[in-house]
C-alpha cells in the first residue's frame, strides 16, 4: 500500500468514536482496569496480547453482512500475533471481514486481513472489537513503529 493510498484512506475514513485524546486515554484505562479484574471479555486467547496504543488513528476497511465495505478511523487497544483489539463507535457483526493498515518498522504501511470475532458494548456508543487475523504476524515488528 502506497503512501498516497494511505492518505486517500485518511481523507475518506469515518470516525465513529468522536473522542478527543483525553477521552480515549481514559476509556482505554478503564478497559485495562476491567480486563485486569476479570471482565466479560473472553480470555480464550491463544496469543499473548500487548498494549498497542497510539493517539493517531489506524485505518480499517470493514465489510459486514450485506454491506458495502466502509473505511474507518479506529483507535487500537491491543495486538497479538493472531489479532487486534480496537474501539469503535458502532456495533460490528462477528464474521465481518476486516482489512487493517498497520505501520511496520521497515515495510511501512502493511495491509492485514481478518474477521471480527467479537464486539462487546462498553459504554454509550462505544464497542470493543476483537479481530482475528487470517495469518499470524510478528507484533514486535509493529510496536516500535507507532
Give domain limits for the chain: 3-143
Residue 116 to residue 64: CA distance in whole angstroms: 9
CB 57 within 8 A of CB 15: yes
* pTM, to two decimals: 0.81
Class of domain 3-143: mainly beta
Is 40 or 10 the better-scoring residue by pLDDT? 10
Strands (E), 25-92: 50-51, 58-63, 70-79, 83-88
Q: What is the pLDDT of residues 42-86, one digit of tens each?
A: 555 577 888 888 656 789 999 987 778 999 999 998 999 999 999
Per cent of the chain over pLDDT 70 is 81
* Start-to-end C-alpha separation, the chain: 17
Distance, CA of 7 to CA of 5 (rounded, Å): 5
- What per-residue confidence (pLDDT) applies to 124? 86
Average pLDDT, whole number, for the chain? Answer: 83
96 secondary structure, DSSP code: -
Is the pLDDT confidence value at 111 over 70?
Answer: yes
Helix spans in 13-122 (H) = 21-36
What are 121's three cell numbers?
458494548
Give yes or no for residue 38 having a pLDDT over 70: no
Q: What is the mean pLDDT of residues 34-47?
A: 60
Confidence grade of residue 4 (pLDDT, cut at 50, 70, 90): very low
Amino acid at each position: 500500500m502506497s503512501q498516497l493510498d494511505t492518505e486517500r484512506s485518511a481523507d475518506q475514513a469515518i470516525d465513529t468514536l468522536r473522542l478527543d485524546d483525553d477521552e480515549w486515554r481514559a476509556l482505554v484505562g478503564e478497559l485495562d482496569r476491567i480486563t485486569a479484574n476479570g471482565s466479560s471479555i473472553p480470555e480464550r486467547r491463544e496469543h499473548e496480547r500487548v498494549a498497542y496504543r497510539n493517539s493517531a488513528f489506524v485505518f480499517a476497511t470493514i465489510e459486514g453482512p450485506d454491506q458495502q465495505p466502509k473505511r474507518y478511523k479506529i483507535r487500537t487497544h491491543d495486538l497479538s500475533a493472531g489479532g487486534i483489539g480496537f474501539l469503535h463507535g458502532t456495533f460490528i457483526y462477528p464474521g465481518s471481514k476486516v482489512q487493517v493498515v498497520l505501520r511496520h518498522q521497515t515495510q511501512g504501511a502493511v495491509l492485514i486481513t481478518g474477521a471480527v470475532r467479537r464486539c462487546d458494548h462498553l459504554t454509550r456508543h462505544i464497542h470493543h472489537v476483537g479481530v482475528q487475523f487470517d495469518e499470524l504476524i510478528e507484533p514486535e515488528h509493529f510496536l516500535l513503529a507507532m
